[in-house]
Structure 1
């Protein structure tokens, strides 16, 4: 069970609403740990375990990005609506609306890591530290590595996936079934999948508007608007202490994470040996040890 929230609700974001959840007391002495979820198009649910850090004195903020979960859904919005700038503006609005813009730490996971890195590169005055978890530094790098990981799937799997992708049948149960071995190897290696991860997984597929527009039909077939996007050109401007976390079997392979290590001035990188894309769920004790040590050093 996760600790009960101390507050939750929605904040106005232009004509829309952003859903949030707070665990612990904001402004009580330590910066807020703000969790920026992946996708794009997922929800906060799979990161709820971070709420436990409130017991160590770090207030935790979760939120659902626009288009998903408890925030405003816009199923008729076109691909040109869903931009990186939109989600950067939403994050800024959240920080101001909750009164934490002067004192916060970002925890960005997967797509949330790129978004958080882009935010951090502007050197906001209130940012105290940055965690980039299981996140590539660019989608072109990601797609190169997806070819490698797909080639290592059981015989015939990559060919069958390619047939569906060429035929435009990526929204079928048959495609999802063929894709399952990839997810079990490189996204979550736990069996059965934890409830938090399953909740986000089903939320995404109940309304895949954002995911399909920005990413594409699967983790390894990125044909959306993010396909050429990278933060490699800005991450050298990140000026706060930064922790990189990834799993040994992560779909965010070492090659996709390496630019962060090479370019961010104050950075350290921890790889969890028994994890894929969700080390906070796959190796929770080791994950807690790493993150608490980083937070204590800020």
Structure 2
């Protein structure tokens, strides 16, 4: 295992940002390395460490704004700065720094990481992409809303009232709101018990420690989408993805079928796996089965 820092020049910043990364396995082996794009934005790599069960070289990294990479809390709310382009540039910078921009690589993205993976996969920078994995993700925010709204309507009525009142008042800090969101999370974020599993807690802790990227790009919670990604879609570009692609979601996932379907419809060389008894953190809820599907696909 090796850890390091990739300097990342960002226009408008006085000093270069720093992208922290961790390599597990041998990048010089014959196996194709897998680049892991975490969700959030801002959840950091920690919650995806179950992927170390895979028998391939892995590159984890914390995206700028969180974790062990450069934090920029002073840019909170700056939608022009926290753009999809910024994170695509960061990925390209890291690949170049590690010498992985001109050899075959596989890319895995979970949730927001799947959005980023798809965005990157439709660009010319992805010419060395061998395999793509889009896990528990969304093809557009409109289709995501359809799924989320359907799940929300299935919550207990008193929970829905709390959520509605918070959105009307724009007050999301109350204990009542936190409790209401936890009801949703226990149904659709992770089914692992006791809740929260360590991986879930790791992701939620990063949001609490620095909510700059999540708050600016997504919103105050999974059920209130007010950030810069509110109108995002990759659907018109998906036909450009030609590599074999594995799609994963779960029955209880907040990434419902309606938001995964456009990937299957528009990526011709794709395979879709749907897990039972699992939610958004399928890699935690059904770890062994989840890992096996990915291992089989990569081989």
Q: TM-score, normalised by structure 2?
A: 0.94
- Distance in 2 (CA, whole Å) between partners of 1:21 and 1:172 is 37
The runs of 5 or more residues in structure 1 that have no matched partner are 1-5
Asked if 1:8 corresponds to 2:40, the answer is no
Please, which of 143, 152, 160 is the counterpart of residue 162 of structure 2? 160
Q: Helix, strand or coil: the match of 1:233?
A: helix
The offset of 1:189, in angstroms, is: 1.0
CA contact (8 A) 2:189 2:253 kept: yes
Find runs of 4+ consecutive structure 1 residues off by over 6 angstroms: none
- Distance in 2 (CA, whole Å) between partners of 1:167 and 1:67 is 28
Q: TM-score, normalised by structure 1?
A: 0.94
Q: Over residues 215-270 of structure 1, what are the superposed CA-to-partner deviations in whole Å (9 max), with x where a residue is unaligned?
A: 00111211100000011011110011000011110000000100000000100000
Further displaced range: 172-181 or 12-21: 172-181
- Distance in 2 (CA, whole Å) between partners of 1:166 and 1:44 is 34
The offset of 1:199, in angstroms, is: 1.3
- 1:48-197 equivalences under 5 Å are 48-53=49-54, 56=55, 58-77=56-75, 78-101=78-101, 102-123=103-124, 124-192=126-194, 193-197=196-200
Q: Over residues 27-64 of structure 1, what are the superposed CA-to-partner deviations in whole Å (9 max), with x where a residue is unaligned?
A: 311111111000112110110111222xx2x1001000
The offset of 1:126, in angstroms, is: 1.2
Please, which of 290, 293, 296 is the counterpart of residue 293 of structure 1? 296
Further displaced range: 269-278 or 118-127: 118-127
Q: Helix, strand or coil: the match of 1:290?
A: helix
- 1:267-282 equivalences under 5 Å are 267-282=270-285
The runs of 5 or more residues in structure 2 that have no matched partner are 10-15
Asked if 1:41 corresponds to 2:42, the answer is yes
What's the RMSD between the two structures over aligned residues? 1.0
Q: Helix, strand or coil: the match of 1:281?
A: helix
The offset of 1:80, in angstroms, is: 1.9
CA change 1:166–1:187 in 2 (3 A) is same
CA contact (8 A) 1:37 1:64 kept: yes
